Structure 1
Amino acid sequence: MYAEVAGFYARQMRRLDEGDAEGWADTFTEDAVCRISTRPAPMRGRAELTAGARAAVAAIAAAGEQRRHMTGMFEIEERPGGILRVHAQTIVYATSASGESRVHQVCVCADTLVRGSERELLVRDRRIDVDGVPAGTDR
């Protein structure tokens, strides 16, 4: 189970880091909810997730940076019906065009993962708490 979950996050974060907003959003269920402490309201459904990821990709490009998500420290709880509750930690690195890297954010992520029609893992519910940022209003 651990290897499958770690592989899922590696593929999901690589999509985001490479600017594939649609591919990243496809790793969520159609009706997924994603709450991030840096946003005032959750993103609901793949369309909002795609739009949010596209905006992030554009902002990162405008800043002249490359972002890399390093996700690990997985705590996996199996629940009835094949549902997985996963807690993980992510360090987001930002690298400038000159090659200088810095830690952009440190986050704690709590996900509910379910199986899709092809038995692949998908995020149904995600909560990301960025260290030092108070929770948004719709938690």
Structure 2
Amino acid sequence: MNSQDETQIAVLRNLYAKQAHLIDTGQHEGWAQTFTADGEFHSPTYGEPAIGHDQLADISRRFSESAQQAGERHRHVIENIWVTECDGSSAQVRAYVMIVGTDIERKQARILRIVTNIDQLEKSADGWLIRHRKVEY
């Protein structure tokens, strides 16, 4: 691995941290903008795939609404980010994602689910964006 590869991997890891913070703080449109305009999100949690920024922002809203209804703050903990391919214009990434719910009143946390994100990314003028995400349990 050369220093350019290491730089790209660091940038990709930062994208995953950015995504977690955006969705967890209710920045729905910002989270959707981390995907390409025709980006896809396939998750058994939400049923039908979300395609495009409007549907992706709706996924983020639904995530926030479910936390609010439960009286919890939900957070994404993203680990074991594995860049399996990266050629400078496209990348393949796998990452483990743990969704944690913290009860706002009792200050107790529980694991809601642990999944694997399997992503295809492409580099645009604005940086790396997710073109396709498949979430697996």
TM-score scaled by length of structure 2: 0.88
Aligned to 1:121: 128
1:110 paired with 2:97, answer: no
The higher-RCO structure (CA 8 Å, 6+ apart) is 1
Question: What SS class does the counterpart of residue 19 from structure 1 fall into?
Answer: coil
In structure 2, what is the Cα distance between the partners aligned to 1:8 and 1:19? Answer: 17
Question: What SS class does the counterpart of residue 24 from structure 1 fall into?
Answer: helix
The within-5 A match list for 1:3-82 is 3-80=10-87, 82=89
Runs of 4+ with deviation above 2 angstroms: 77-81
In structure 1, what is the Cα distance between the partners aligned to 2:60 and 2:68? Answer: 12
In structure 1, what is the Cα distance between the partners aligned to 2:81 and 2:97? Answer: 10
RMSD: 1.4
TM-score scaled by length of structure 1: 0.86
Q: Which amino acid aligns with 1:75?
A: W
Question: What SS class does the counterpart of residue 41 from structure 1 fall into?
Answer: coil
Report if the CA contact (8 A) 2:88-2:123 is conserved. no
In structure 1, what is the Cα distance between the partners aligned to 2:47 and 2:24? Answer: 23
**Gap runs ≥5 in structure 2:** 1-7
In structure 1, what is the Cα distance between the partners aligned to 2:115 and 2:136? Answer: 6
In structure 1, what is the Cα distance between the partners aligned to 2:46 and 2:65? Answer: 17
**Gap runs ≥5 in structure 1:** 131-139
